[in-house]
Amino acid sequence: MIDVLIDITLLAFLAITSIAILRMTNLFATVMLYGIFSLLSAGLFVVMDAPDVAFTEAAVGAGISTVLMLATLALVKRPQRPFYEEAPRTHRAWLPLVVVVVTGSALIYGTWDIPGFGAADAPAQTHVARYYIDNAMPETGVPNVVTAVLASYRGFDTLGEVTVIFTAAVAVLLLIGGRRSVKADKSKTQEKQDEA
């Protein structure tokens, strides 16, 4: 009973936050609301018995993403005015609204065929899930089935993902990292010296 109440309340908060993010033109406030959105969805994941997903959502969604978006905001802010000022509203968008409503209706229509949450006859439960539940512990020795699938059965897949992320991080650091900020500092100090 209380679970249902928490579900409904958190979902209502989620909807309110999403609409507020859409309507807000203040970028700083939007990032703050993203943080709230992330905390809310992580709370929902906890209520739906997915603590590992909630862990990831908390670390990535609420933690790293907020810091990264704030860092982006600090880099792209306009020099003249503060970055947290309201931007003027420029246009009305009826066509995008119609497209979104039609697409959303199609997607909601599609969800009618999805089996219920945690249903025993769902395809996800009937094929390989039984095998993993029966054999994960004796085959891999990992007590958590999700961890066993990610780190052992799909170990090479995870290794590939990690390689991709590492390569992307190295490329980004090579392109925009390190040396540029040193140069900027140098030019600033040179300007100061010139002025002096």
Partner 1 sequence: MLTAATLAILVTMALALVRALAGPSTYDRIAAVNMFGTKTVLLIAVLAFLSGRTDLLDIALVYALINFIGVIAALKLVTHGNFHSADSAVNDTDKEVTE
Minimum CB–partner distance for residue 71 and partner 1 (Å): 5
Is-contact 33 13, C-beta < 8 A? Answer: no
Minimum CB–partner distance for residue 67 and partner 1 (Å): 5
Quickly list H helices, 24-128. 27-47, 51-56, 65-76, 94-111, 123-126
Buried/exposed code over 109-143 (b: 16+ C-beta within 10 A; e: otherwise):
eeeeeeeeeeeeeeeeeeeeeeebeeebeeebebe
Minimum CB–partner distance for residue 152 and partner 1 (Å): 21
Minimum CB–partner distance for residue 7 and partner 1 (Å): 11
What does the DSSP 8-state code read for residue 122?
S
Name residues contacting partner 1, limited to 37-66 (CB under 8 A).
39-40, 42-43, 46-47, 51, 54-55, 58-59, 62-63, 66
HSE-up of residue 60 (Cα within 13 Å, Cβ side): 7
Q: Which residues bind partner 1 (CB under 8 A)?
A: 2-3, 5-6, 9, 13, 16-17, 20, 28-29, 31-33, 35-36, 39-40, 42-43, 46-47, 51, 54-55, 58-59, 62-63, 66-67, 70-71, 73-75, 77, 84, 181, 185, 189, 192
